Amino acid sequence: MKDNGHPLDRATAAEFASWFKALADPTRIQIVSLLARRGTPMSVGEIVAAVDVGQSTVSAHLKVLADVRFVLADHRGTATYYRINEACVDCFPTAADIVMSKPVPVPPVPATSA
Read off the pTM.
0.74
Determine the Cα angle at 41 with ends 37 and 46, to 5°.
85
Better-scored residue on pLDDT, 105 or 41: 41
Pair 86, 38: CB distance under 8 Å: no
CATH number at residue 82: 1.10.10.10
Task: Write the pLDDT tens digit of every residue in 10-61.
Answer: 888 888 788 889 988 999 989 998 998 998 999 999 999 999 999 999 999 9
Q: Residue 73 carries which side chain, given as an amino acid letter?
A: A
Local structure of 45: helix, strand or coil: helix
Residue 48: which domain range? 10-99
pLDDT value, residue 63: 96
User: Do the domain assignments include residue 50?
Assistant: yes
pLDDT value, residue 104: 57
Domain count, the chain: 1
Residue 71: burial class (beta carbons within 10 Å; 0-12, 13-18, 19+): buried
